[in-house]
Amino acid sequence: MSDINAVTTAEAPGPAATRPADASSAKPRSLAGDAWRDLRRSKVFWIAAVLVAVILLMAVWPTLFTSADPANCQLANRHHPAGGGALFGYDFQGCNVYARTIYGARDSIFVAVVATLIAGVIGLTVGLVAGFYGRWADAVLSRFIDIVLGVPFLLAAIVLARRFTVHETDTGVLAVTLTLGLLGWTTAARVMRSAVITARNQDYVTAARMLGAGPGRLMFRHILPNAVGPFLVVLTLLLGINIAAEATLSYLGVGLQGDAISWGTSIAGNGPYVRVVAGPVVWPSIFLAVTVLAFIMLGDAVRDAFDPKRR
């Protein structure tokens, strides 16, 4: 029941202005139109877009990049150096590291993107509602966040893995995705809530309210665009964290399993041998890092383009 009342004090610094109305141009332009024009001119955006496209292509069509079979592992090849179709050598099970890294993109990207989307939707909704309405809504939702924070990842992962594993050969993609998505939204939600609390006390919101704007319009037209910045940053990073978290879950024995090939399982499986041969750990890590980089760049570019304050 947090009563968060806005009292604007005169001496307080803060972004006092509303979105400056662009009076100079004759034709009114939409925010999206402006953003797209900006994006098209952004080098960062194009680099990121190309990277993301390549990674997605890898996930959808791995045979385009390698003809080797990632599941064909011969112990006789254990830790053999690069050669033949194996650009990056062989890992401790005698699997082709290059092929596994390429094929690993699919599950890694799927898990990370879907889990991040789930977390994003829940986080946005909970954060926006709790921050905007305050009082009861905030009390209930915030305490709910506290409870979710308390649930250990490992426990939830085990329970979900059991509920969503229908058959022994199920690789557990769904369970891992749900675990990361259903437990990973708390950060996004609290960040969103804090940004909304800050934004809803701004003058322009008060002004809009005075002018008779309804809660929906206030939330989505006025508060959200100004509060979404930190939320987007958290979300883009969450993508990377989710790829890595899948590795940690694998290490704890509740991640992807069986025939699943992913960057996380490669990193966790080869981790103990990193002193002997580093390649099988380093290559998937590089792919992971580049993926995260692409999404960070994309996120930055998109956010900059949409930032109302930049106009």
Q: Which of residues 68-87 bind another protein (CB under 8 A)?
A: 71-76, 78
Provide, rounded to whole angstroms, the least separation between the CB of residue 145 and another protein: 8
Pick the binder of another protein from 54, 133, 209, 229 (CB under 8 A). Answer: 229
Of 46, 65, 133, 153, which lies in the binding site for another protein, with binding defined by CB under 8 A? 153
The 191-210 contact track toward another protein, x by CB under 8 A, reads x-xxx-xx--x---------
Taking the complex as a whole, how short is the minimal distance between the CB of residue 119 and another protein, in angstroms?
Answer: 12
Specify the residue, 57 or 286, whose C-beta has the smaller distance to another protein.
Answer: 286
- Classify 116 as helix, strand or coil: helix
If binding is defined by CB under 8 A, does position 178 make contact with another protein?
A: no
Q: Do residues 132 and 189 touch, judged by C-beta distance below 8 A?
A: no
Phi, psi dihedrals of residue 13, rounded to the nearest 5°: -80, 160
Q: For residue 142, how many other CB atoms are within 10 A of its CB?
A: 17
In the list 21, 26, 147, 211, the residue contacting another protein (rule: CB under 8 A) is 147
**Contact with another protein (CB under 8 A) among 96, 101, 177, 187:** 187
Alpha-carbon distance values, 219 to 21, 191, 203, 213 (Å): 19, 16, 14, 10
Q: Residue 117 or 296: which CB sits closer to another protein?
A: 296
| Nearer of residues 17 and 50 to another protein, judged by Cβ | 17
Residue from 68, 113, 224, 292 in contact with another protein (CB under 8 A): 292
Task: Please tell me whether residue 225 binds another protein under the rule CB under 8 A.
Answer: no
| Contact with another protein (CB under 8 A) among 97, 113, 122, 244 | 244
Binding to another protein (CB under 8 A): which residues in 3-22? 3-9, 12-17
Q: Judge contact between 136 and 202, C-beta under 8 A.
A: no
| Of 98-106, 174-182, 212-220, 253-261: span binding another protein (CB under 8 A) | 253-261
Look up residue 35 and give its two tokens.
Answer: 């953003």
Distance in angstroms (rounded) separating the CA atoms of residues 230 and 287: 25
DSSP 138-155: HHHHHHHHHHHHHS-HHH
Whose tokens are 């290559």? That residue is 283
Long-range CB contact pairs, 73-82, < 8 A, 24+: 79/273, 79/276, 79/277, 82/279
119, 268, 298, 305: which one binds another protein (CB under 8 A): 268
Distances in Å between the Cα of 289 and the Cα atoms of 19, 125, 218, 284 are 36, 29, 38, 9
Evaluate whether 231 touches 188 at the Cβ level (below 8 Å). yes
Q: Is 50 near another protein (CB under 8 A)? A: no
Pick the closer one to another protein by CB: 2 or 64: 2
Out of 35, 112, 156, 305, the residue judged to bind another protein by CB under 8 A: 156
Minimum distance, C-beta of residue 182 to another protein, in the bound complex (Å): 12
Min separation Cβ 269 and another protein, Å: 7
Contact pick of 58, 70, 303, 305 for another protein (by CB under 8 A): 303
Q: Compute the CA torsion angle 170, 173, 174, 179 (nearest 10 deg).
A: 130
